[in-house]
Each structure stands twice: as C-alpha cells, then as structure tokens.
Amino acid sequence: MTTDQRTEQRLTPEELVQHDGKDGRPAYVAYKGKVFDVTASKLWRKGLHVRAHKAGSDLTTAMLAAPHEDDVMSRMPQIGILITEDEANGLVLAQTPWWVQLSLDHHLHPIAVHFPTALGAVAPLFALLSLFFIGSETYYTLQAVAFWNLVICALATVPAVITGVISWYYSYSAVWTPIYRIKWTFSGILLVLTYAAISVRIFAMNSPEPTGVTFWLYSVLVISHAPVVIVLGHYGGKITFPS
C-alpha cells in the first residue's frame, strides 16, 4: 500500500478503537479528523501515553490540556481520516452551527468557567473576614466587596453553564457519566445559592448590619459557595486531567 493510499483510509470510531497497540496490534490515534500511526513512538508503549491517553481514541479534546503544542502530531505518519458511521454509510450530516464552532474553536468554556469558580471562592472569603471587623468601617468595606463579587459570579455563571453544555454535547458526545452528573448538579446548586443570596441581600436586608435572621441566612448562603466551587473545580479537573 502506498503512502497516498494509506492517508486516504477512512476509519470510523469503532474501527479506530480496535487499533489500541495491545497484543501486537498497531496503535492509532485521531486528532482533528485525521488518524495517525503512533506504533513506533516510544511515548506510546503498549498503546498508552503518560498513563492517561490510550491508543484507539480521539485526542482532539485531550490535546487542549496537553503541555505541548499540537505540532507533535506532524511527527507521526498520517494513515487516514476519522469519519462517523453515518458518513461511512453515505449520509450527509448537518453542519455544526457557527456559534457552536466559535465556542469550541476559541475554548470559551475554559475561559468562562474560571470567573464563577474564582469569585465563588473569593466572596465567601471576604464575607468571613468581615466578621472579624464588626463595628468598624472595614466590616462594611469587606461586606460590599463580598456582595459585588457575588453579583459578578452570578453574571459569569450563566455563560459558563451555556458554554459548558456546548462543550459537553459536542466535544464529549453528551455522555452522561457520573462526573458530569456531579458537575451539572453542583452547577445548579451554585446558581440557586448565588441568586438566593443576592435576592436576600437586596429584598430582605435593609442594611448589612450583623444582626437578625436575614443577615445570618445571607451569610450562610454566601459562605456555602466555597464548598460548591471546590467540588466543581475538582471534577472539572478530572475531566481535563483524567487519572
């Protein structure tokens, strides 16, 4: 088979997974629709790379978190292209909407998700610190900082969730794994906590004075953001850096 013929091979995901580099089988990986032969690479011994990535899989998403650029793929021989079962059967697939492609190409979810995660941790920190300065001007300053961080967190959570849905649906084939169940559950909890805290502060508290049931309800809602964003960050890391 000539080089040109090899690069014209059309493999489906089901066929790709059979080339896992085990038991003498060749090791193939896909990236951006192209299939590469990594059998001869010392970094892919027995079809495994850095104990995280397996041959026979599509690395397009995993490459986003790699500590190297995607030009490493140019060092591997391309042996074909990756197609879907529908394409193999001659069916025409609908083109990805431009706004979806924009989100995926520019990695909008990794960008957006940092804001609610960071601010959801910072707001509780300032709220807790303020309790050590009750009766002083510092108390009111820290309370104001905590509140406005919470407001920005509320605004940032919406695009983070939207781009997360896009990434999950298009990049991860909308597979409903335990990690994603936890991610979506705690994303919902974060939204509820954030908007509940802001609503209590605006509509139920006349001032940020540290007295009354509404103040302590508001404080609990704000401080509860911390464990929620820790869980979200932990499981987000599991997606990006699988063990």
pLDDT, tens digit, 9 for 90 and up, residues 74-108: 788 898 888 876 655 555 445 678 888 888 888 89
**Rounded distance between C-alpha atoms, residue 31 and residue 29, angstroms:** 7
In the prediction, which pLDDT does 100 show?
86
CATH number of 3-88: 3.10.120.10
In the prediction, which pLDDT does 168 show?
84
Residue 53's beta-bridge partner residues? 49
In the prediction, which pLDDT does 120 show?
94
- List the Cα angle 120/125/128 in 5-degree steps: 130
Tokens of 233: 């960050």
CB neighbour list of residue 83: distance below 8 Å, 6 or more residues apart: 10, 11, 12
In the prediction, which pLDDT does 4 show?
44
DSSP code for 204: T
H or E, element range at 132: none
Spell out, as residue ranges, where the chain has pLDDT lower than 50. 1-6, 92-93
In the prediction, which pLDDT does 112 show?
93
Helix 178-203 and helix 225-240, axial crossing angle in degrees, nearest 10: 150
| 93, 167 Cβ separation under 8 angstroms | no
In the prediction, which pLDDT does 174 show?
74
**Rounded distance between C-alpha atoms, residue 236 and residue 41, angstroms:** 30
